[in-house]
Amino acid sequence: MMLTSLDRKILDLLQNEFPISVHPFHELADILGIDEAVLLQRIQHLKDTGVIRRIGGVMDTRSIGYYSVLCACEVEEERLDQVAAHISEEPGVTHNYQRNHRLNLWFTITAPSQREAEDTLRRLENDLGVIIHTMPAEKVYKIRLSLPMGEDDYAD
Amino acid sequence: MLTDTDIQIIQYLQGDIPLESSPYTPLADRLGISEEQIVQRIQWLHDQGLIRRLAAVLRHREAGFTVNAMVAWQVDADKADKVGTFFAGDAHVSHCYWRQVPEDFPYNLFTMIHARSPEELQERLERLSHYRDVKDYVVLESLQEYKKTSMKFF
């Protein structure tokens, strides 16, 4: 969809300055200088058109005490959809993609402990007859969850 | 230690909060505490680092970022911090991690790069790949999305 200049401002605010308060949308409307009802209507439209997936909390997996790891495996092309569907059924699998590499299936798994994640991966390996490589993060240089919507934000 | 109230707040926030003037009313009613108390507890969970933030989560493609690639770079371990920090400073890079990798996959610095066109992605790749200490890289383009959700904790 075509985003208006107001939409872009709303998206920047919703991504970066959502207040922790009893009436968060009212505060945002004040910043934008518009009525809260107008803001809510516009956000509803951005949700209806699929631009906004959800509004809520973004949790820190590690601080919550959970373990997550990136995994990759090599799957024969003709079995790929079936293997991918099986892996996606795991509630701890949050992302699962076919990628253009010998390792053609990449997914992340999150679990209450490393042990539980590893148990699940071993079970998947047995069920599916594939080798799952894990690529744990040793250092995090950046996790940014917002996308700069204004045109000027891309200056490096 | 998280209380039962904390866990219920986290569960509420990992969904989609209602698009209402008072989005915490349903939770306050359920827990039998005031909205002010809920907001105080959210602030505490935020200060403790469990909630990174409250925010809208966008769908990249619908927001105009149609080209999203996982790119993995081959960098020597002793140069990881230098290159990782440089890559992290690029506005198109949303995530940058140093990972343990299997022996036959020598690309250990991982980035997610978001662009508005294939040309823009290409420009970014050229810029980043010319940085010294980058030996090689592989663009792991997503051909199919099988699943993308937010984790549900507890």
Could you state, in order of their start, the residue ranges of all structural domains in chain B?
4-47, 67-141
pLDDT over threshold 60, residue A153: no
- State how beta strands B109-115 and B93-99 pair: antiparallel
Residues A70 and A105 occupy one common structural domain: yes
CB spacing of B54 vs A20 below 8 angstroms: yes
Q: What is the DSSP string of B6-73?
A: HHHHHHHHTS---SSSSTTHHHHHHHTS-HHHHHHHHHHHHHTTSEEEEEEEE-TTTTT--EEEEEEE
Summary mean pLDDT of chain A? 92
Average pLDDT over residues B94-119: 94
Report domain B67-141's class.
alpha beta
Q: A52 has which bridge partners?
A: B58
Average pLDDT over residues A106-113: 96
Structural domain total, chain A: 2
Residues A23 and A68 occupy one common structural domain: no
Whole-number pLDDT of residue A151: 46
Residues A131 and A66 occupy one common structural domain: yes
Residues A39 and A87 occupy one common structural domain: no
Residues of chain B in contact with residue A153, where contact means CB-CB under 8 angstroms, are: 91
Selected residue of A59, A80, A81 to mutate for chain B interface (largest B Cβ count, 10 A): A59
Domain of A83: which CATH number? 3.30.70.3460
Selected residue of B147, B149, B150 to mutate for chain A interface (largest A Cβ count, 10 A): B147
CB spacing of B95 vs A92 below 8 angstroms: no
Residues A126 and A66 occupy one common structural domain: yes
Residues of chain A in contact with residue B17, where contact means CB-CB under 8 angstroms, are: 55-56
Whole-number pLDDT of residue A156: 35
Residues A10 and A73 occupy one common structural domain: no
pLDDT over threshold 70, residue A18: yes
Instruction: Answer whether A73's CB lies under 8 Å from A131's CB.
Output: yes
Q: Could you tell me which of B134, B132, B65 has the C-alpha nearest to residue B93? A: B65
Q: Could you tell me which of A68, A17, A77, A99 has the C-alpha nearest to residue B145? A: A99
pLDDT over threshold 90, residue B1: no
CB spacing of B152 vs A96 below 8 angstroms: no
Residues A130 and A91 occupy one common structural domain: yes
Residues A81 and A19 occupy one common structural domain: no
Give the dihedral of Cα atoms B61, B67, B72, B78; nearest 10 deg: -90
pLDDT over threshold 80, residue B142: yes
Q: Is residue A141 part of a domain?
A: no
Q: Is residue A153 part of a domain?
A: no
pLDDT-derived band at A150, boundaries 50, 70, 90: low
Q: Shortest CB distance from B16 goes to which of A24, A55, A92?
A: A55
Quote the percentage of chain B above a pLDDT of 70.
100
Whole-number pLDDT of residue A9: 95
Its domain, for residue A28, covers 5-48
Residues of chain B in contact with residue A14, where contact means CB-CB under 8 angstroms, are: 55-56
